[in-house]
A and B are shown apart, each in its own frame.
Chain A
Amino acid sequence: MLSSSAVVVHERTDFREHVRCNSAAARRRMGDLTVMSEDSAATGPGRRVSRRAILLSAAGAVLVGGAAGGGVAALRPLRHGRRPSAPVDLLDALAAEDALIAALDAMAGTNAGDRILAAVRADHVAHQAALRAFLSEFTPPPNTARSAPTASVGSRAELARLEQRAADAAAGRAARLSGSAASVLASIAACESTHVVVLA
């Protein structure tokens, strides 16, 4: 059930403004991530399923995130006062994207001009930007140096295995979160599964 605080945002705010994406390629691939009204989102798939929607709660760009390491709790960044700590699952998701980009960059030297690898990397840059935008609503943890180990990847098959593990991990993290962050992370998990297909 949608929370009663879910807001109706009538204008189609460009999500790119929200994520402040730095990469031109990533900006292109961010596509139509838009804020839509609860009502229009609810009728979207039935009338024209491709209508893009993410649900954001009352402050316009705040999260209802999940607390890591246990039960799911509503985390509502406050306009006034101290913001809550960032959910560990969001931090880990960002670290995973960072690691995948590093792995792709390590392959770039021997695969210059590979359009599939370029497309896969652009997806991860877009994911990275979206996750950073979500995390910007939270107080950074005291130790922000959270990172996933960068795997040494020498072939597409190895990269495909890495993508599959990333997809599984993203789906698991999404399931522990709530609100729009969970939904976007579920989409990221689906994307990373498609990478397995194109790298095969």
Chain B
Amino acid sequence: MTGLSGDLLAAWQQALAAEQRAVFGYGLLGPRLADDSAVGLAHDCQSAHEQLRDAAAAAITGSGRQPAAPASDYPDLYPVNSASAAGRLAVRLEEDAASAWRYVYAVAAAAASDASAGSGSLRRTAQAALTASAVRATRWRLTIGVSPPVVAFPGI
């Protein structure tokens, strides 16, 4: 991806930060999960976020910029001292990632009237990531029994 600059670059860096945080968060919550299906879901989610993290970092690097380094710790994610707390944290991680990608979409959409190169591709990437996180959040709400399991405007 080329041409990341200004607000678009900042949005992309924030999406990277959200993915880094999600990867860290799943490492934190995984050991607290009680049943196999939840553990499997957590593995799938962490793997998805690792791929998005790497793709986001590669896009920033490909644009000639330096990807932001992950934080050494994320104190706001603690404590995770039960299976239910782990499930709630997973929902939060997914909602936060959805917000980050929706923001990328918003910045790219604001740029669309300028007919900036690559906006369509970037919006497709952001839409896919936003949708994927919204779906994962819903799966977690179903897993931990949150009702309703859907929200009208994921990422907003």
- How many interface residues does chain A have, given as a range? 35 or more
Q: Is B142 in contact with A190, judged by CB distance below 8 angstroms?
A: no
A171 CA to B8 CA, complexed, in Å: 20
Q: Is B99 in contact with A195, judged by CB distance below 8 angstroms?
A: no
Known contacts A1-B110, A127-B152; is A50 also within 8 Å of B96 by CB? yes
| CB interface residues, A 1-49, toward B, < 8 Å | 1-3, 6, 26, 29-33, 41-42, 44-46, 48-49
Closest to A194 in B: B138
B53 at the A/B interface (Cβ < 8 Å)? no
User: Digit string of B127-156 for contact with A (CB within 8 Å is 1, else 0)?
Assistant: 100110111011100100001111111111
When distances are taken between beta carbons in the complex, the residues of chain A under 8 Å from B99 are 44-45, 49-52
A115 at the A/B interface (Cβ < 8 Å)? yes
B14 at the A/B interface (Cβ < 8 Å)? yes
Q: Is B131 in contact with A119, judged by CB distance below 8 angstroms?
A: no
| CB interface residues, B 6-20, toward A, < 8 Å | 6-8, 10-11, 13-15, 17-18
A116 CA to B138 CA, complexed, in Å: 12
When distances are taken between beta carbons in the complex, the residues of chain A under 8 Å from B102 are 183, 186-187, 190
Closest to B120 in A: A175
Known contacts A46-B17, A194-B138; is A1 also within 8 Å of B114 by CB? yes
Write the nearest CB–CB distance from A66 to chain B, whole angstroms. 7
| CB interface residues, A 114-154, toward B, < 8 Å | 115-116, 118-120, 122-123, 126-127, 130
When distances are taken between beta carbons in the complex, the residues of chain A under 8 Å from B151 are 29, 31, 123, 191, 194
8 Å CB contact of A195 from B126, B137, B150: B150
**Secondary structure of the A side of the interface?**
helix
A73 at the A/B interface (Cβ < 8 Å)? yes
Q: Is A190 in contact with B155, judged by CB distance below 8 angstroms?
A: yes
Q: Is B113 in contact with A167, judged by CB distance below 8 angstroms?
A: no
When distances are taken between beta carbons in the complex, the residues of chain B under 8 Å from A85 are none
Write the nearest CB–CB distance from A61 to chain B, whole angstroms. 15
A112 at the A/B interface (Cβ < 8 Å)? no
Known contacts A46-B14, A198-B138; is A187 also within 8 Å of B155 by CB? yes
B116 at the A/B interface (Cβ < 8 Å)? yes
When distances are taken between beta carbons in the complex, the residues of chain B under 8 Å from A127 are 152
Write the nearest CB–CB distance from A16 to chain B, whole angstroms. 12
User: Digit string of B76-112 for contact with A (CB within 8 Å is 1, else 0)?
Assistant: 0000000000000000100111111011011101111
Q: Is B14 in contact with A188, judged by CB distance below 8 angstroms?
A: no
When distances are taken between beta carbons in the complex, the residues of chain A under 8 Å from B134 are 190-191, 193-194
Q: Is A126 in contact with B18, judged by CB distance below 8 angstroms?
A: no
Q: Give 15 A-B pairs besides A33-B153, A49-B95, A187-B155 with Cβ atoms closer than 8 angstroms.
A: A1-B7, A2-B110, A3-B114, A45-B14, A49-B97, A50-B95, A72-B112, A175-B120, A175-B124, A178-B113, A186-B127, A187-B154, A193-B134, A197-B139, A198-B138
Write 23 A-B pairs (CB below 8 A) sorted by A numbering: A1-B8, A2-B110, A3-B110, A31-B151, A41-B103, A45-B11, A45-B18, A45-B99, A49-B97, A50-B99, A53-B103, A55-B106, A71-B115, A72-B112, A115-B148, A118-B148, A119-B150, A182-B112, A186-B109, A186-B126, A187-B155, A190-B134, A197-B138
3 A-B pairs with the lowest CB-CB distances in the bound complex, closest first: A49-B96, A119-B148, A178-B112
